[in-house]
């Protein structure tokens, strides 16, 4: 259950000259050659106050499928961490299996090859300086595990409906600008035959375009597998009108009607008391 560096080349150092936020992303094709094991990918940070928990990454996702072999999943993990000026941080992509595996079992990264090259495994950092003005990067994240039972496959529901800090963002700008909205969640089902849909719903500035429907959404499988999280990622660009409040909410449903005994879930793990983060992020470009 120990996290290991995926590759020595998938690590770099960064020293900001001012305080700010780092948007960290990892993208990798993960698969296994032995049925019964999934693949976990993480982004570890050391330096300053990190790691938050010794031996654990700051963000991570699990990628299935549990019953399949030689079937890469395009896993994406995103995290946001505050960085302090003049402090050197080391950012590393790490991985492990979701449970102890025998010596004969192996997890892999990279699909293909095409002309001798496998699909790229990528680790990125985007730094957003703190300017003292309105924040340009907004983030709502939870390490809780959520469940939705008996979805009718039609009506979208908020993923978090009970928390005091739900998976929702609110913002407005004095000027017209652009918001890049992203969602990242480990999605899975306990009943074969059903997939999981995740969406970003917007209220304000003429939205929603269609009542009851998100502005962007993705479906995450697999159809035949259970208890096998998929690291789903969703992105959209939102034109922001001046002096207009917006509310952005993370929603979900099953891909079709489910019986009362069936549920979809978000959050893999846990590691300690925390499940893999479910995250909604807005990057405001040119907003004030």
Per residue in 161-182, is it b (16+ CB within 10 Å) or e — as a string?
Answer: eeeeebbbbebbbeeebebebb
Instruction: Please indicate whether the domains covering 4-129 and 137-285 agree at the CATH topology level.
Output: yes
Distance CA 102, CA 76 (A): 26
118: number of Cβ within 10 Å: 14
Sorted by where each begins, the domain ranges of the chain are 4-129, 137-285
The token duo for 43 is 């982004």
pLDDT in tens, 251-270: 999 999 999 999 999 999 99
pLDDT of residue 201: 98
The answer to whether the peptide bond before residue 270 is cis (omega within 30 degrees of 0) is: yes
Q: Identify whether the C-beta of residue 14 lies closer than 8 Å to the C-beta of residue 127.
A: yes
What's the whole-model pTM score? Answer: 0.94
pLDDT of residue 226: 86
pLDDT of residue 18: 96
Assign domain 137-285 to a CATH class: mainly beta
pLDDT of residue 84: 98
Distance CA 274, CA 189 (A): 19
pLDDT in tens, 23-66: 999 999 999 988 888 999 999 999 999 999 999 999 999 987 66
Q: Identify whether the C-beta of residue 183 lies closer than 8 Å to the C-beta of residue 210.
A: no
State which residues of the chain have pLDDT below 50: none
What CATH number is given for 4-129 in this structure?
Answer: 2.60.120.1340
pLDDT of residue 133: 77
Element (H, E) at 264: strand 263-266
Beta bridge partners of 199: 217, 251
pLDDT of residue 202: 98
Distance CA 128, CA 91 (A): 16
């Amino acid at each position: 259950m120990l996290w290991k560096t995926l590759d020595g080349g998938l690590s770099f150092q960064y020293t900001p000259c001012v305080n700010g936020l780092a948007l960290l992303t990892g993208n990798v094709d993960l698969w296994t050659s032995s049925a019964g094991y999934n693949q976990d990918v993480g982004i570890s940070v050391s330096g300053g106050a990190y790691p938050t928990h010794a031996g654990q990454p700051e963000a991570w996702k699990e990628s299935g499928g549990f019953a399949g072999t030689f079937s890469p999943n395009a896993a994406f993990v995103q995290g946001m961490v505050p960085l302090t000026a003049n402090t050197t941080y080391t950012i590393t992509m790490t991985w492990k299996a979701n449970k102890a595996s025998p010596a004969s079992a192996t997890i892999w990264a990279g699909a293909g090859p095409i002309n001798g090259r496998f699909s790229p495994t990528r680790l990125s950092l985007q730094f957003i300086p703190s300017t003292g003005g309105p924040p340009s990067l907004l983030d709502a994240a939870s390490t809780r595990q959520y469940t939705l039972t008996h979805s009718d496959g039609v009506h979208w529901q908020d993923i978090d409906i009970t928390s005091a800090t739900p998976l929702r963002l609110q913002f407005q700008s004095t000027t017209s600008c652009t918001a890049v909205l992203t969602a990242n969640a480990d999605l899975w089902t306990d009943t074969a035959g059903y997939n999981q849909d995740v969406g970003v719903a917007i209220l304000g500035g003429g939205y929603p375009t269609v009542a009851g429907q998100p502005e962007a959404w993705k479906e995450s499988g697999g159809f035949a597998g259970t208890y096998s999280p998929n690291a789903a990622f969703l992105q959209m660009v939102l034109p922001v009108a001046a002096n207009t409040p917006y509310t952005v909410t993370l929603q979900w449903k099953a891909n079709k009607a489910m019986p009362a005994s069936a549920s979809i879930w978000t959050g893999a793990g846990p590691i300690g008391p925390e499940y893999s983060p479910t995250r909604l992020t807005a990057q405001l470009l040119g907003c004030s």
